[in-house]
Amino acid sequence: MINLYITATKYIQLLLIVLYTYCNFRFLSIPDQDDANPLCDWQLRIILLVHFLMNLTIYLKTGSVEVIVFYGIQLIFFLAYTFLSTYLYRNINRLLLNNTVFFLAYGMIILERLDMSKAIKQFAIIVGSAVISLAVPYIIDRVWDLVRWRYIFAAIGIILQGIVLIIGATSYGAKMSISIAGFTFQASEIVKITFVLATAGMLSYAEDFKDICVTSLVAAVHMLILVLCKDLGAALIFFIAYLVMLFISTNNFMYLFLGNVSMCLAAVFSYFSFSHVRTRVFAWMDPWADMDNKGYQITQSLFAIGTGGFVGLGLYQGLPNKIPIVEKDFIISAISEEMGALTAICIVLVCLGCFMQMMLIATYMESAFYKYVSVGLAIEYIVQVFLTIGGSIKFIPSTGVTLPFVSYGGSSLVSAFIVFAIIQALYIIQGNEDEADEIEVLERRAAGRPDRLSYDEPLNEDSGYDDTDYIDSDYDMEDIEDDPHYKSEKVSAEDLGF
């Protein structure tokens, strides 16, 4: 009977997640967020329904009352988090908020199934990080002027990662974490954020080639320490994020080209210099040749994904625990095995949706610093997703990084929450400014003055360029009812062709 319930909910879940993913991309095509609010409400209902159905399965299988209590607490948390976020920040991006809850819900479901004690630990960290994340937009908006702290961020990052290099603990061939009073944390997850804040700040102040060299030097020091820690997955994430930020800030394709060349050289170099890199490349090229050792993890992951197929075996019907460190690097394989590859693909698409939303927010930013920060964080996020998913399905060699919000692990969670909170902060700040502008215009109109807003530069500054090439060419407003910057940004979303 329980199997019947599991099979039935398996298909319902698939239907729901496909619907959720559809809503996700539908959202990106709606120009005005107020119109998208009903869609967001539906998304939340879908998540909570899936969360309920799956927790019921877990209860039926384990028969422990603990599960019901735990489910109740999680439900309250999800509701409270969503309510507080929207209550405190009227202009919050609902899509990113929903997706956060979505990832958390799937992560909790699969963790409860894999290991209940880890799920409880994970949940405690979720609650803690969520509280921090609620405060971040307020702090960024009111208290800190982040861009002035750019050198401090650079120093924090280098020192923190340097400490790891000196006293860090080695795991799976790389130095990743430091232990303080029995509490272990992976420094690169935090440095990831300070790195973007530092380099974005420096790039936004860069005036000439010398400034760019200095910024690149700071970035290189970060990466060098990571390479010395043999944390090449993180080094790659940092590198790509920096490269894209540099490209976006200079609009110079030469940097992109040089960056790619040096990345290829670095890849060849690391292949010949690090034995654990070679091991992973071998395991990627032909894992079947050595299924007992080097290829064990990846082949078990492929068995899990392949046996699960598109619809999955159903919760508790597979053997995801056969994959070593499944709850971290290979969480997607466990999800794919029991909830179906369709679910895994939807999760990947939602990750992609988050990235698109973050990048669109970047285009919405008027301040260069904020723009680069959101680009940097978005790239870091999507590269990390690409590395972990690609590694699990043998699309690329496994690099041992986690899936943000879904994988088990405190540092990864805290970091993911802060990253999303910073993006939200930028979105909220810009939204508030736009509203203020709008009010100002309305006041001007009430006072009988012209509608014109003040600009830093004259409008004919861009003569000689073909304006039609650019995304948002409509700053010159005749009718203020057409919401100014906000509207123009949403045009760019439509340009993507959703």
Q: Is 110 in the site for other proteins (CB under 8 A)?
A: no
Residues numbered 308-367 forming contacts with other proteins, rule: CB under 8 A: 309-310, 313, 317-319, 322, 337, 341, 344-345, 348-349, 352, 355-356, 359-360, 362-363, 366-367
- Least distance to other proteins from the beta carbon of 90, Å? 25
Note whether 461 binds other proteins by CB under 8 A.
yes
Between residues 4 and 65, which has the closer beta carbon with respect to other proteins?
4
Question: Cα–Cα distances in Å, from 127 out to 41, 96, 187, 200, 287?
Answer: 22, 17, 20, 29, 39
Residue tagged 């080094």 (tokens):
235
3 state SS of 447: coil
Distances in Å between the alpha carbon of 366 and those of 22, 330, 455?
A: 30, 39, 12
The residue (of 187 and 304) whose beta carbon lies closer to other proteins is 304
DSSP 329-377: TTHHHHHHHHH-HHHHHHHHHHHHHHHHHHHHHHHH--SHHHHHHHHHH
**Which of 378/414 has CB closer to other proteins?**
378
Residues 243-262 that bind other proteins (CB under 8 A): 244, 247-251
Using the contact rule CB under 8 A, the part of the chain among 41-49, 161-169, 225-233, 374-382 near other proteins is 374-382
Return the bridge partners of 170, or none: 175
Output the smallest distance, CB 424 to other proteins, in A: 18
Run of H or E including 161: helix 150-167
Q: What is the 3-state secondary structure (H, E, C) of 171-184?
A: ECCEEEEEEECCEE
**Interface map 4-23 toward other proteins (x if CB under 8 A):** x--x----------------
Q: Is the dihedral of CA 32, 36, 37, 43 positive or negative?
A: negative
Window 189-208: residues binding other proteins (CB under 8 A):
204, 206-208
213 lies in the site for other proteins, by CB under 8 A: no
Helix axes 484-495, 410-446, angle to 10 degrees: 130
Q: Does 283 bind other proteins (CB under 8 A)?
A: no
Between 26 and 445, whose beta carbon lies closer to other proteins?
26
- Residue 462 binds to other proteins (criterion: CB under 8 A): yes
Q: In Å, how far are 26, 137, 360, 488 from 491, measured between CA atoms?
A: 14, 26, 10, 5
The contact mask relative to other proteins for 149-188 (x = CB under 8 A, - = no) is ----------------------------------------
Cβ proximity to other proteins, 74 vs 392, nearer residue: 392
Residue 9 and residue 57 in contact, taking contact as beta carbons nearer than 8 Å: yes
Cβ neighbours of residue 344 closer than 8 Å, sequence gap 6 or more: 305, 332, 335, 336, 389
Q: Which of 42, 390, 438, 444 binds other proteins (CB under 8 A)?
A: 390
Judged by CB under 8 A, the chain residues 466 through 485 that form the site for other proteins are: 469-473, 475
Nearer to other proteins, 34 or 208 (CB): 208
Site map 72..91 versus other proteins, x via CB under 8 A: --------------------
Nearer to other proteins, 81 or 238 (CB): 238
Instruction: Transcribe 73-85 into DSSP letters.
Output: HHHHHHHHHHHHH
